[in-house]
Amino acid sequence: MKLAVIGDTHLGAKWGTPREGDSFEQAEEAVRRAVEEGADLLLLLGDLFDTRIPRPEVWTRAMRIFTLPKMGRGRVRLVGTVGKEEGEISPLSLQGVPVVSLHGNHESRTEGLKNPVEVLEAAGMLLHLHREAVIFEGPGGRVAVHGMSYVPERYARGFLQTWNPQPVEGAFNVLMLHQSLGQYVFSPEEVSALSPEDLPPGFDLYLCGHIHYRVESTLHGKPLLFPGSTERTQLLPVEASNRKGFYLVEDGRPRFVELESPRDFFYEEVEAEGMEVSLLQERVRRRVEALLSGERKNPRKPPLIRLKLKGRLAKGRKGDFDEASLEEEFSDRALLVVSKEELSSPSEGAGREALGRLGEAGTLEEMTLRLLEANLSELGYSYGLEARSLYNLMLEGKVEEVEEKVRAFVRRLVELELGEGA
């Protein structure tokens, strides 16, 4: 039996930007080619969508992708389930090439509310697993797919232990998760609650979503695969050297299939130590030109270029470097992102430089405020919670007002059901 394994597709990511089509084109290519390659089952590892309540425009494009496996030639039939009522499985979801899916943190909703992967299941597009298993029979025997959808890190260990999945005898057993796992984390700040060794032995294939770069490892003597996202979501250095794609697994052996649709991504650091701003501006321009005229895998789409400026300028302030005009200048040939977090200027003292993004903070109050702002902006959502007004209230001793603002903020968050991390 041939299994296709597709990681986070993040449909709808970068909506409203020049990249809004990317997630769909890349997911479409992965699903279409998996079906063309003759996969008997498609396994999706969660974060199919970028948000828990996708807009109709996203649904419309997504549904066209999820109908593709329906038109494939099916060779498997469902022969059993573990923990899942057979009655809740739509016969439509068993037509064509069946799709078995987890939901990820991006789709995760409060207990009792339906997430978009469950909507797809109700529409007969796929089978959704959350601490359940489905068993199929097809060419070459049986496959049992066991899956635990995303749970918040602090519950991951307990949920896995109480689920306690057992390999099905006589079947090829697959275990799928959507969590950070040991050293494999979504971001460097993240600490995994689970390590690979926490996963039970006895399975023939271990699969994990959530991690956006591809990793091929082994666990209990069997393959442990992180296919990575099909969409470039993070622009990490590792994503520049790491191709996007999906896995085909046949007879227990994985083969990575590279996608052709992703735009090229270049990540480079530009040394700025001791340079004048105008010279640095010119150096960045030449760097971009060189990348654009160099070797390209996908010349059909403007590439993503992320340049990180590093070092201390000869004079002036880092604000003098005009990245906006450069980004504009190349806008029809490249999606350019210039980051200046590691650029500094002589006007910043040595000690202050060590404080990095605290930048030009002059007083202790100002530093505290900047830290507060930085922490709030790292959260990625600051709706109605403005650091400066909060801090002023704190300075004035109006603790109750601060508490009320924070409570209102949390209520708003719950309403918006905004996500956690990846």
For Mn ion, give the closer residue by CB, 23 or 345: 23
* Closest separation in Å from C-beta 212 to Mn ion: 6
Q: What are the residues binding Mn ion (CB under 5 A)?
A: 8, 47, 422
For Mn ion, give the closer residue by CB, 10 or 318: 10
The answer to whether 41 and 143 are in contact (CB under 8 A) is: yes
- List C-alpha distances in Å: 49 to 31, 137, 182: 14, 29, 25
Helix (H, G, I), strand (E, B) or coil at 273: coil
* Closest separation in Å from C-beta 124 to Mn ion: 25
For Mn ion, give the closer residue by CB, 265 or 409: 265
* Closest separation in Å from C-beta 156 to Mn ion: 15
Measure the CA–CA gap between 57 and 68, rounded to whole angstroms.
18
Task: Please give the full DSSP string across 294-345, using - where no structure is assigned.
Answer: S--S-TTSPPEEEEEEEEE-SSS-GGGS-HHHHHHHTTTT-EEEEEEEEEE-
103: left (phi over 0), alpha (psi -120 to 50) or beta: beta
Helix (H, G, I), strand (E, B) or coil at 347: coil
Instruction: Name every residue whose Cβ is closer than 8 Å to that of residue 82 and which is 6 or more positions away in sequence.
Output: 132, 133, 134, 135, 144, 146, 165, 168
For Mn ion, give the closer residue by CB, 102 or 175: 102
* Closest separation in Å from C-beta 235 to Mn ion: 14
For Mn ion, give the closer residue by CB, 11 or 422: 422
Which H or E run contains 156? helix 153-163
* Closest separation in Å from C-beta 103 to Mn ion: 11
* Closest separation in Å from C-beta 211 to Mn ion: 8
- List C-alpha distances in Å: 278 to 111, 248, 275, 318, 337: 55, 50, 8, 11, 18
For Mn ion, give the closer residue by CB, 98 or 227: 227
* Closest separation in Å from C-beta 179 to Mn ion: 11
Token pair 């498997």 in the structure block, residue: 76
- The DSSP letter of residue 200 is P
* Closest separation in Å from C-beta 44 to Mn ion: 12
Q: How far is the first Cα of the chain from the last one, in angstroms, to the nearest whole number?
A: 32
* Closest separation in Å from C-beta 230 to Mn ion: 10
Measure the CA–CA gap between 335 and 332, rounded to whole angstroms.
8
Task: Please give the full DSSP string across 81-130, using - where no structure is assigned.
Answer: EESS-GGGS-GGGGSSS-EEE---TTT---TTSPPHHHHHHHTTS-EE-S
For Mn ion, give the closer residue by CB, 50 or 132: 50
For Mn ion, give the closer residue by CB, 93 or 230: 230
Alpha helices in 164-276 (DSSP H): 237-241
Measure the CA–CA gap between 320 and 386, rounded to whole angstroms.
27
* Closest separation in Å from C-beta 106 to Mn ion: 6
For Mn ion, give the closer residue by CB, 247 or 409: 247
The answer to whether 373 and 352 are in contact (CB under 8 A) is: no
For Mn ion, give the closer residue by CB, 47 or 348: 47
Rg of the chain in Å (alpha carbons): 24
For Mn ion, give the closer residue by CB, 66 or 172: 66
Token pair 């959507």 in the structure block, residue: 178
For the chain, the residue count is 422
* Closest separation in Å from C-beta 110 to Mn ion: 19
